[in-house]
Structure 1
């Protein structure tokens, strides 16, 4: 029997990317139907918006805990069980006639996402052929980007045409499709040998991994403080109306998919450190160009189109090197737990970014957003580089201690 890594990987990667697409769409699509939810359940829009907050917080908190407690579970069974819960939580939404009932279903969906999404990336890494881990991770990451490009607009349209409950039902149906393809295309992955909690957590306590996770938080914070308020910034800079914003968002989405895929290739060829540095430098250059356009306002829309494309490509180029570096630092046994921590870092950075961007916009105006985002990119690069230096220092200290023991003997 051929090894799992030698089996045709196209359908397997498609199944994993479709699963990522489904989970991310479920997280974001609700934003487009929040007013309808508020009216339908007779609550304020701010209250309805807590459905998004609760989902993100649960994913951030539960993902690393679930990764540790399910470390010895068969991966295929974990994916299948999580997707069954996810589908059930979404398909039951039309039966929810009150806000508490809907909130409970969103909690169940978030619990499923917190388990499944890190497992998707762990399985992708485990089944990747030698020298292709970065590219395979980037391919699955494209599912997350695709959710922003296609999933969210589709969910919003479905809600407008058939009612907000239909958006959740569609997510449940999409989850069933992802589950079927997963079971058909993804082989089981043998979990690491059973070990105690201490052994599972020890690799996660390495200072270098902490710096990598901090770099992810800061990078996502910088990206989201700009992305969340992209509409007001472009309206003030180039007079972009909603129609023009839609076109630029499509450009950004396509650029993000390309950036993530290219980043994965670079991770395999030149390593995570150089790939992250290139992504951070490109992001900073894009922010500088957008800040220049803002200073020249009213600027022509063509002056912001290329920086927007570069910004999105650079932003989506960040996850592959972060994932690859985290996997290497944690080792095979703690790899799934490390990826879960990366997922939590992304959620944390997104939450902080939206709040920080709102404060900057309200206090200092849109012109400060690119500057703050660029500062975050530089800080994230410094943290990522510090992780590499920490690894080198630790390795040097270990060699010195080993040589010292040999000398004594």
Structure 2
């Protein structure tokens, strides 16, 4: 291969640092699902209450992201990212030493606010510094840190928590943040701040009913999926007697299958159209949830027998977002960029809702009801997108 070709193919170090940064934040958000029983038992709260640590993180992110993007719009990007990562590291290491549920909740909120300041800026930097014709590829790589966390970060955090206690999991989260901070300091060039967009302009798409319905559909899609993911530990314990070690391998499987599902969902949206791809994904999700519910009648079910079903669950869960976001873009029309900005908040609102609603189901009816309620929420999402399409065609 000629030297010039090799140089063009080599990814810049700053891009890899941004990928690792989003990987770190996503790991920190999702890893609670892997150590939930241990955290709840040690702090003397129910697993439903422990799951609200995911709710707190995600809700804080959803609320802080649009505010942070406005407040920090004129700040130097390099200083913003490294400063927020420093706060993130402190919040995680402090969490490793706390014995108070309330204090841990506050530290999760602090870590989420730091993440909310970094993640949107990381996406913007990736597209700003990308060579012509590679903006989409660079952005996809940075966003790939999210699915990569399920395949690698969450299993590692789960295994560490099983071997050394859940406090060590937060210690690992802080260490990952420190590595990301050092990598950005060493590789990220200073980029000019972006012009601030007034909050009124950012929220303008909400005035259109079809866009609002589409965003609510995104919330419902993520909420249904996260109900199962957040409480996967108690669900698989009740269904198959799975412990932390087994759960770590399940997260590896879910990450790999989720990555494949996301790629297939994006291709299906291009080839079939977003509506047909969205219907296929949600119907597939509901079918998997129905099989999970049937398996509860046969428990305990050997975990190896559940692995193919878990892989399909992860695949269809990540299949759904690409056609849903493509449909949202079509509904927004010229307001697509603003709608995508609101989409980030909708995603994290769904994550927080998954923790909250799933916690209510778990506390009130047990883990066996999680699949049925999750399927119902996904079907509601499909209805919301159908209503959005009707409003769009009627304009």
Q: Please, what TM-score do these two structures have when normalized by structure 2?
A: 0.75
2:253 aligned with 1:251 = yes
Q: 1:349 aligns with which of 326, 336, 353?
A: 353
Superposed, 1:202-351 pairs within 5 Å as 202-230=204-232, 239=240, 241-242=242-243, 247-267=249-269, 272-294=274-296, 304-326=306-328, 329=332, 331=335, 334=338, 337-351=341-355
The verdict on how the C-alpha distance between 1:157 and 1:251 changes in structure 2, with shifts beyond 3 A counting, is closer
Ranges in structure 2 where 5+ consecutive residues have no aligned partner = 1-7
SS in 1 for 2:203: helix
Contact map agreement 1:219 1:376 (CA 8 A) in 2: yes
Three-state SS of the structure 2 residue aligned to 1:334 is helix
Q: Does the 8 Å CA contact 1:280/1:377 hold for their aligned counterparts?
A: yes
Aligned residues: 382
1:302-341 C-alpha deviation (Å, 9 max, x unpaired): 6643332111111122333444555663747636742432
Measure the CA separation in 2 of the matches of 1:22 and 1:125.
Answer: 20
Shift, 1:350, TM fit: 1.8
**CA–CA separation in structure 1 for the residues paired with 2:382 and 2:133:** 24
Task: Kindly provide the CA deviation profile for residues 37-69 of structure 1, in whole angstroms up to 9, marking residues without a partner as x.
Answer: 985xxx534587765554333223222322343
Calculate the TM-score normalised by the size of structure 1.
0.73
CA spacing shift, 1:139–1:165, aligned 2, 3 Å: same
Distance 1:99 1:298 in 2: 32
What does the per-residue CA deviation read over 1:64-123, in whole Å, with 9 as the maximum and x for residues that have no partner? 322343345555543333223212333455676877765554443221012223333455
C-alpha change, 1:246 and 1:389, in structure 2 (3 Å) is same
Q: Report the Cα distance in structure 2 between the residues aligned to 1:162 and 1:297, rounded to whole angstroms.
A: 30
1:377 aligned residue: 378
How far apart are residue 11 of structure 1 and its match?
5.1
CA distance in 2, matches of 1:294, 1:220: 24
Is 12-21 or 266-275 further displaced after alignment? 266-275
- Equivalent-residue separation in structure 1 for 2:100 and 2:308 (angstroms): 46
Worse overlay, 302-311 or 268-277: 268-277
Matches within 5 A, 1:383-394: 383-394=384-395
Gap regions ≥5 residues in structure 1: 1-5, 395-409
C-alpha distance in 1, partners of 2:274/2:77?
Answer: 26
SS of the residue 2:292 aligns to: helix
Distance, in Å, in 2 between the alignment partners of 1:323 and 1:354 is 24
Q: Which structure has the bigger radius of gyration?
A: 1
CA RMSD across the alignment = 4.2
Q: Judge conservation of contact 1:138–1:264 (CA < 8 Å) in 2.
A: no
Deviation string for 1:335-373 (max 9, x for gaps)? 6742432343233332344135315743xx72x443333
Contact preservation (8 Å) 1:134, 1:268: no
